[in-house]
Amino acid sequence: MSEADQPTTAFTPRVFSGIQPSGGLTLGNYLGAMKRFVDWQARDIETIYCMVDMHAITVWQDPAALTRQTRELAAGYLASGLDPARSILFNQSQVPEHAQLAWVFNCVARMGWMQRMTQWKDKAGKNQQNASLGLFAYPSLMAADILVYHATHVPVGEDQKQHIELTRDIAIKFNHDYGVDFFPVTEPVIEGAATRVMSLRDGSKKMSKSDPSDASRINLTDDADTIAQKIRKAKTDPEPLPSEAAGLAERPEARNLVNIFAALSEQGVEQVLAEVGGKPFSEFKPMLADLAVAKLSPISSEMARYMQDPAQIDAILRDGAERARAIAEPILHRTYEIVGMVGARV
Ligand code: TYM
């Protein structure tokens, strides 16, 4: 039995996650992903965070804008508290093993699996024939992002759950087809009060950087007045806040604002409602606006500071890419060996 065929069920715990540099960062990205990346960094576990620029180009990106947005995302990571000495921070295109493993996974994953992805259906819309092949294969590259590090934990927002399930399917099929126990069956980590931050204008829609209405979202680059104004204008209902979470069940807008408050103040929803239950929105909204400004303003000013020194950002990403490659390269070459590719040097 070669080393590659040995069962390797005991995987070292390792966290991987990524964000697309495809536009501005929203409060949804911050609470659903970045803030939780920082929490994982504080634990005794290796953390690897990526700017997935190759995923971004599955839909058209202006080249200069992509460069700026990648640096801005890196600045957002750093400003939120990610420390390049403790976490590996890099952009995906600089670690070619992602694309190389994705090709192997393209040959493992089935067309039908990809066709079922809701993100594919949403993004390709009615004109699937005109969507890029990359957009269709997107989840296979995402599986490669995760599995090229043998990552065991992937903190994401609710909207990425289906992609992580597909990553698990790819790992299981690869292991089965080749008779190995080589790739871990990765856990999505979807936890906290803000795994699905909703639009401020419509509690049934996800807060998104691509929503045409800027009032629907809080951007990490918004100034204090803009944040306060957007919260003041957020859609609500006429009732005062309930004192228990069950009272939010049929009130999506109220639930969203309470969830945001809970996540920003690092409390549970019940704890928040114990404090604000019975208050009308005219009292709660200014409390939320003050909290959001207090938490987000330091991040946006730090981001602006980092953006003044792109060379520093680029150096951090280069160093991160080197460290990431040191982990990814042997895993890719072991994969090639398992597949039977001559020349694999492991
Ligand atoms: P992306 O760039 O759309 O979003 C990045 C992260 O932010 C979370 N998120 C939200 N969370 C809560 N509420 C919201 N309104 C909200 N909007 C966005 C997303 O769930 C995500 O965690 N395919 C991924 C990027 C990716 C990736 C990966 C993630 C590529 N490879 C490997 C994890 C592991 C994406 O498009 O995320």
pLDDT of 148 over the 90 cut: yes
Mean pLDDT value across residues 268-296: 97
- C-alpha 260/C-alpha 149 separation (Å) is 32
pLDDT of 8 over the 60 cut: no
The DSSP bridge pattern shows strands 153-155 and 187-189 to be parallel
Please tell me the pTM assigned to this model.
0.95
Active site residues: 123, 206, 209
DSSP 236: -
Q: Which of 215, 222, 295, 221 is nearest to 69 (CA)?
A: 221
Q: Which part of the chain has CATH 1.10.240.10?
A: 214-305
Residues within a 6 A CB radius of ligand 1: 16-20, 28-29, 32-33, 52, 55, 142, 145-146, 154, 156-157, 159-160, 163, 194-197, 206-207
Correct CATH for 214-305 of 1.10.240.10, 3.40.605.10, 3.40.50.10490, 3.40.800.10: 1.10.240.10
Q: How far is the CA of 29 from the centre of ligand 1 (A)?
A: 7
Q: How confident is the model at residue 343 (pLDDT cuts 50, 70, 90)?
A: confident
* Percent of the chain topping pLDDT 70: 97
Q: How confident is the model at residue 5 (pLDDT cuts 50, 70, 90)?
A: very low
pLDDT of 1 over the 50 cut: no
At what angle are helices 269-276 and 281-307 packed, to 10 degrees?
130
Q: How far is the CA of 195 from the centre of ligand 1 (A)?
A: 10
pLDDT of 344 over the 80 cut: no
pLDDT of 233 over the 80 cut: yes
Q: How confident is the model at residue 9 (pLDDT cuts 50, 70, 90)?
A: low
Q: How far is the CA of 19 from the centre of ligand 1 (A)?
A: 5
User: 3-state DSSP call for residue 7?
Assistant: coil
- C-alpha 128/C-alpha 134 separation (Å) is 12
Q: What CATH number is given for 10-195+309-339 in this structure? A: 3.40.50.620
Mean pLDDT value across residues 111-139: 96
Q: Which of 196, 218, 214 is nearest to 205 (CA)?
A: 196
pLDDT digits (tens, 9 = 90+) for 185-215: 998 899 999 999 999 999 999 999 999 999 9
Q: Whose CA is nearest to atom 34 of ligand 1?
A: 17
Q: Which part of the chain has CATH 3.40.50.620?
A: 10-195+309-339
pLDDT of residue 10: 80
Mean pLDDT value across residues 248-271: 97
pLDDT of residue 143: 98
pLDDT of residue 345: 63
- C-alpha 171/C-alpha 55 separation (Å) is 20
